[in-house]
Amino acid sequence: MNSQNTLLISESAQRSVGALLSDVEGLVSPPDVCMRLFELIHLPTTGAADIAKVIAVDPNLTARLLRMANSSFYNFSRKIDTISRAITVIGTTELYQLVLSISAVKTFAGVPNELVDMNTFWRHSVYTGLLSRTLAVRANILHPERLFVAGLMHDLGSLVLYHQRAQEMRDILLLANGDEELLYHAELEGLGFSHASVAAKLMEQWQLPASLVEAIHCHHEPEKAGNARIEAHLLHLANQLVNESEQGNFMAAPRADVRLGQSLLDTVGLSEDELFFAFEEAAEQFPATLQALM
């Protein structure tokens, strides 16, 4: 990991995370379409038609992108019926982030896990992404859509750990008893690193922006973030709030004792009333977004 991220775990833990991911590289590598799009969007001569041509090779991806573009996630007044039109109204960068999100869901659906209900996992991830985005909008964060990507992918490291360290994670899950904060600290104590470290390294390999990688890495301890301090706090806040909800909580175990300190609200510049309205907005978008991604 780069910059601030290397300060959060030891060198031996970094090596362990690297080895863990190398063992599942074939299962969790970004699809070719992501790599090709990443190259295209960094070429000054690339146009909407070039991007649409790459996406059109994958009919399933095309259909999911159009479902997202026409969902309440964007709430456009006119129907978006082509990828070229989607690029025009959404923008190249955001469309690429949507491709990453859809590809991640599809890729990790193929990672076998006996320790987690995948429906519960994705509900938590999608809801966290939506709430991260709506909170970012109310906090006047630039390009708030990228927080959806961070929220969607913040727990992908857990799927790798459930697959690669099944017995250890079974014990840790029993100890955590549905409390994600307890899970995080038990991972640090038992493994020397956490699902957040694994997810961050993985998303670095998927070439997510450094700010999102850092936010994912620090989503349980946002005060340790550097350049992505606000993003990390927003992601942490969204994750905490979603764990209070009935339909998006971690491990189907809603918590009634989640406490949000005033310092957290002060850091992101939001009031409790704004949290309520952001949550209502995310709840409205949740069913259609979940359906479009799954």
Q: Give the E-state strand segments of the chain in sequence order.
A: none
**Residue 181 CB coordination number (10 Å):** 16
pLDDT of the residue at 272? 87
CA 60 to CA 230: how far, in whole Å? 35
Alpha-carbon distances of 190 from 8, 21, 173, rounded to whole Å: 16, 18, 12
Write down the pTM of the prediction: 0.90
Q: What is the pLDDT of residue 223?
A: 93
- Torsion angles phi and psi, residue 178, rounded to 5: 85, 5
Structure confidence at residue 160 as a pLDDT band (50, 70, 90): very high
Residue 24 near residue 163 (C-beta atoms within 8 A): yes
Helix axes of 166-176 and 156-164: crossing angle, nearest 10 degrees: 120
Evaluate if residue 30 carries a pLDDT over 50: yes
Tokens of 43: 């070429």
Number of CB atoms found within 10 A of residue 44's CB: 4
Instruction: Assess whether pLDDT exceeds 50 at residue 184.
Output: yes
**pLDDT given at position 5:** 46
Rounded to an integer, the average pLDDT of 221-228 is 93
Instruction: Kindly report, residue by residue over 77-91, the tens digit of the pLDDT.
Output: 899 999 999 988 888
Q: What is the pLDDT of residue 146?
A: 92
CA angle, corner 50, sides to 202 and 95, nearest 5? Answer: 45
Amino acid identity, position 124: H
Stretch 268-282: mean pLDDT, rounded?
A: 91
Question: Could you give the CA distance from residue 138 to residue 238 in angstroms, rounded to a whole number?
Answer: 13
76 burial via Cβ count (<10 Å: 0-12, 13-18, 19+): middle
pLDDT above 50 (res 26): yes
| Residue 256 pLDDT level (bands cut at 50, 70, 90) | low
What percent of the chain has a predicted confidence (pLDDT) above 70?
94
Q: Would the pLDDT of 253 be above 70?
A: no
- Once rounded to an integer, what is the mean pLDDT over residues 183-197? 94
Q: Which conformational region is residue 238 in: left (phi greater than 0), alpha (psi within -120 to 50 degrees), or beta?
A: alpha
Q: Above 80 in pLDDT, residue 260?
A: no
Q: Using the predicted structure, report yes or no on whether residue 6 has a pLDDT greater than 50.
A: no
Domains of the chain: 3-24+112-293 (1.10.3210.10), 29-110 (no CATH)
User: Does the pLDDT at position 1 exceed 60?
Assistant: no
What percent of the chain stands above pLDDT 90? Answer: 51
Buried b (16+ CB within 10 A) or exposed e, 258-292: beeeeebbebbebeeebbeebbebbbebbebbbeb
